Amino acid sequence: MNHKRLFIPGPVETRPENLLALATPQVGHRSKEFQELYADVNKKLMKFLHTEQYVFLSTSSSSGVMEGGMRNLVNKKVLATTCGAFSERWYKMGLENGKEADQLAVEWGKAVKPEMIDEKLKTGEYDSVAVVFNETSTGVMNPVKEIAEVVKKYPDVLLMVDAVSAMAGVDIDFDGWGLDLCLAGLQKCFGLPAGLAVFAVSEKALKRAEQVENRGFYFDFLSFKKYHDKNMTASTPAIPHIFALNAQMTDILAEGSARFDRHARMAKLVQDWANKHFEVFAEEGYASNTVTCIKNTRNISVADLNGELAKHQCTISNGYGDLKEKTFRIAHMADTQEWEIRGLLSLIDSILGH
Ligand SMILES: Cc1ncc(COP(=O)(O)O)c(C=O)c1O
C-alpha cells in the first residue's frame, strides 16, 4: 500500500472501524430502520452541539449548506465577514444567489473582531451576518462566541457560522451562544470521508426562511424540517455516511471534552515547533486548534518537503492559493493523536536537518 497518512486540513484519516461502518448493509431511506438510525444520530448530534433546536443532515459538501444559508436566511442584506479564501466564499455566494451583500474584509492572517461587526450592525442595514469559525486557508480561529454576543444585541439579525474545520475539534454551544446556522462536513474534524454535511439551525432561522422567497428546492431548510419531523431526509441521503457518523458520534461523545483538550495540545505542539523554526501565520491569540498555517520564513521548497514526506507515507498541505510556497499547513484534527504529530514533526526535522 502506498497510502500517504493525511496531515492535510481535510480529508483526514478515517479509523478502520469507521471505514467498516460505511460498509453496513443498506436500508431503504423510507424504512423504519432508517428512521431509527436518523433519530439515533440526531440525538447524539443535538447533545454534542448543545442544542434543543434542529440538526439536519445534508447529502452534499459543506458549500451546499452555505449556499442554502444565503438562500434561506437572507432577506434584506448580509454582512459577509472575510479573512481568507473560504470566508470569501460567503460573500461570493451571497452575490451569486442574488442577495444584497457587503463584505467586511480583514487582512489574511488576522481575525474578525466582534467590535468590527458591531460597528456595521449599528447601521441597521443588515438582517444577517456570515462568519467562518476556522479559516482553513490561514489557520485563524475567529472568536465566534464573542461575535455571537455582539450579534445578540440585534434581535433581527441572524448569525451564520461556517464551522467546516472547527466542528468536532472545538466545543460549540449552539444554543448557549445563540447561533442561527452552524455547519460542517464530515471530512475534517469528524474524521470521516467527505459526502455528508451536518448543520444546526435555530427556530428563529426557520421563521426567517418562511418569509424568504426562492429558497430553491434541494437546500430549502423548510423541506429539511418537514422530513426531519419524520426522522427522514427529503431526498435519498448518503446512507453509508450516516451509519459511519452514528458510530463515530458514539466515540466522540465518549471522548467528551478530552477531544477538545487533545486538539488544543496538538495545536500547541505544532505552534511551538513552528515558532522555533519558522513563524505561525495567524495573528497572535487567534491561531487555530485544528490546523496551523506556517509562514515559510526560510524559503524552503514546500513541494520538495512534501516529496520527501511522501517517501515516509505522510503528506502535509502547501499554502492555499496565493499563499502557496509562502506558507504550508499542518492539520491536527479529528482522531489524530499527539504521538502522530510528534512523529511528523521529528520527520520534518530530520528532512530539513534541524
Ligand atoms: C472553512 C471552510 N469552509 C468551506 C469549505 C468548503 O467545503 P467543501 O469543499 O466540503 O464544500 C472548506 C473546505 O475546505 C473550508 O475549509
Q: What is the pLDDT of residue 149?
A: 98
- Taking each continuous run of H as one helix and of E as one strand, the counts in the chain are 13, 15
The predicted model gives 236-256 an average pLDDT of 98
Closest atom, ligand 1, to C-alpha of 136: 16
pLDDT digits (tens, 9 = 90+) for 116-167: 999 999 999 999 999 999 999 999 999 999 999 999 999 999 999 999 999 9
Q: What is the residue whose three cell numbers read 491561531?
A: 287
pLDDT digits (tens, 9 = 90+) for 301-317: 999 999 999 999 999 99
pLDDT bin (cut points 50, 70, 90) of residue 190 is very high
For residue 86, report the distance from its CA to the centre of ligand 1, in Å.
6
For residue 203, report the distance from its CA to the centre of ligand 1, in Å.
25
Percent pLDDT > 70 in the chain is 100
The predicted model gives 189-212 an average pLDDT of 98
User: Which of 58, 83, 165 to mutate for ligand 1's pocket (most ligand atoms within 8 Å of CB)?
Assistant: 165
Q: What does the block give as the cell for 37? A: 438510525
For residue 282, report the distance from its CA to the centre of ligand 1, in Å.
19
For residue 103, report the distance from its CA to the centre of ligand 1, in Å.
19
Could you tell me which CATH number the domain at 5-11+257-352 has? Answer: 3.90.1150.10
Q: What is the pTM of this model?
A: 0.98
The predicted model gives 270-276 an average pLDDT of 98
User: Which of 70, 82, 86, 291 to mutate for ligand 1's pocket (most ligand atoms within 8 Å of CB)?
Assistant: 86
3 pLDDT more than 80: yes
CA nearest ligand 1 atom 7, residue: 62
User: Which of 164, 170, 196, 293 to mutate for ligand 1's pocket (most ligand atoms within 8 Å of CB)?
Assistant: 164
Q: What is the dihedral of CA 229, 232, 235, 241, to 10 degrees?
A: 130
The predicted model gives 54-78 an average pLDDT of 98
203 pLDDT more than 90: yes
For residue 272, report the distance from its CA to the centre of ligand 1, in Å.
26
1 pLDDT more than 90: no
Ligand 1 neighbours by CB, cut-off 6 Å: 10, 61-63, 86, 132, 136, 162, 164-165, 185
Percent pLDDT > 90 in the chain is 99
The predicted model gives 28-45 an average pLDDT of 98
Provide DSSP, 7-61.
-SSSS----HHHHHHHTSPP--TTSHHHHHHHHHHHHHHHHHTT-SSEEEEESS-
Task: State the maximum Cα–Cα separation within the chain, in Å, rounded to a whole number.
Answer: 61
Closest atom, ligand 1, to C-alpha of 63: 11
Q: What is the pLDDT of residue 213?
A: 96
pLDDT digits (tens, 9 = 90+) for 322-333: 999 999 999 999
CA distances in angstroms from 222 to 98, 99, 119, 219, 236, listed in the order given: 20, 19, 32, 9, 17
Q: What are phi and psi of 167, to 5 degrees?
A: -60, 130
Q: How many CB atoms lie within 10 A of CB 42?
A: 19
Q: How many CB atoms lie within 10 A of CB 35?
A: 15
Q: What are phi and psi of 298, to 5 degrees?
A: -105, 10
Q: What is the dihedral of CA 136, 335, 253, 240, to 10 degrees?
A: 90
For residue 62, report the distance from its CA to the centre of ligand 1, in Å.
6
Q: What does the block give as the cell for 146? A: 464573542
Q: Are 309 and 330 in contact (CB under 8 A)?
A: no
Q: Exposed (0-12), middle (13-18) or buried (19+): which is 217, by Cβ within 10 Å?
A: exposed
β-sheet with 158-162: strand ranges across:
54-58, 197-201, 181-185, 158-162, 128-132, 78-82, 101-105
Looking at the domain covering 27-254, what would its CATH class be? alpha beta
Average pLDDT, the chain: 98
Closest atom, ligand 1, to C-alpha of 194: 10
For residue 32, report the distance from its CA to the centre of ligand 1, in Å.
33
For residue 352, report the distance from its CA to the centre of ligand 1, in Å.
31
For residue 17, report the distance from its CA to the centre of ligand 1, in Å.
25
CA nearest ligand 1 atom 16, residue: 136
Q: What is the pLDDT of residue 2?
A: 84
